[in-house]
Amino acid sequence: MGVEFRCCQLASDMIGLKKEELIPGIEFICSKDVAELFLTYSEENQLIINF
């Protein structure tokens, strides 16, 4: 389906999550990249966040 999972390095460091605890295939990305993804997907009306 083309879904990619990424994990924010800063957030994972803050909660103590290590790369070896993630499901294989999930990559760490820096917080700057996370912010850019939020902007890109919100501009294209593809971003949905549920709390």
Residue 51: the pLDDT is 59
49 is a domain residue: no
Residue 19's domain spans which residues? 6-43
12 is a domain residue: yes
11 is a domain residue: yes
The two tokens of residue 24 are: 């294989």
38 is a domain residue: yes
Domain count, the chain: 1
pLDDT in tens, the chain (51 residues): 788 889 999 999 999 999 899 999 899 999 999 888 888 888 777 776 665
Q: CB under 8 Å to 37, separation ≥6 — which residues?
A: 6
Helices (H), the chain: 9-15, 31-43
What number of residues does the chain have?
51
The two tokens of residue 45 are: 């009306």
Residue 50: the pLDDT is 61
The two tokens of residue 18 are: 């290590």
1 is a domain residue: no
